[in-house]
Chains A and B, each alone.
Chain A
Amino acid sequence: DAKTTQPPSMDCAEGRAANLPCNHSTISGNEYVYWYRQIHSQGPQYIIHGLKNNETNEMASLIITEDRKSSTLILPHATLRDTAVYYCIVRAPMDSSYKLIFGSGTRLLVRP
């Protein structure tokens, strides 16, 4: 079973920040939080990942709570192209025997 829970859908206005929450209350100490997104049923695309510190890259920011039981993906200036299903997944890094299990994800709609 997926180890994360996400709201099924969200929307935001173009140009505004999109904040996507994820709960992972049973996360283990060596598990990272990964975010992927899937656009138009293409293969999922990596966005960002982190262990306990906040992370930022050219696509997004990841805020992880101090107890690591939840996180938020932030798209700072959402565009129409960011409309997609966003998946939050926890896994141990470089443990290739660890299966990547997808939850239901959050369907983000960016409105013009």
Chain B
Amino acid sequence: SAVISQKPSRDICQRGTSLTIQCQVDSQVTMMFWYRQQPGQSLTLIATANQGSEATYESGFVIDKFPISRPNLTFSTLTVSNMSPEDSSIYLCSVPSPVYGYTFGSGTRLTVV
């Protein structure tokens, strides 16, 4: 099954700034998924990132706020733009796995102050 390296593992950012989160997969995958987990909540899907096409965003998430890049089949980034304290969450990437359904990165814990 694929192994995902997600960076950074945590960060504390000033409001109004942006943070880019990276996910590197050790094998080629067609689709990558980005999730947000707000404090005490379950995971919410932000968007699906396909290589070579625009990401598909879920209801309530927009590209201007969460731009995603997918330059190749092993890498993707999610940017959290113009951050506010409400963006304080854990952000996770995920890829499909033939054995495990999905494999997840270890997450990025973001605190906006």
Q: Which A residues fall within an 8 A CB radius of B? A: 32, 34, 36, 41-46, 49, 85, 87, 89, 91, 93-94, 96-97, 99-105
Contact = CB atoms under 8 A, between A and B. Distances in A.
Interface of B: 4, 6, 30-31, 33, 35, 37, 42-45, 48, 90, 92, 94, 96-107, 109
Nearest to A94: B98
B33 A102 contact: no
A29 to B, nearest CB: 18
A99 B45 contact: yes
A43 B45 contact: no
B104 A93 contact: no
- Majority-rule SS of B interface residues: strand
A100 B97 CA distance: 12
Q: Which 9 A-B residue pairings sit nearest by Cβ, starting from the closest?
A: A43-B104, A46-B100, A102-B43, A96-B96, A34-B101, A102-B42, A96-B31, A44-B104, A43-B106
A46 B95 CA distance: 13
A105 B99 CA distance: 22
A8 B103 CA distance: 24
B101 A41 contact: no
B103 A99 contact: no
A42 B33 contact: no
Given A41-B109, A42-B106, A43-B104, A100 B90 contact: no
Contacts of B105: 43
B94 to A, nearest CB: 7
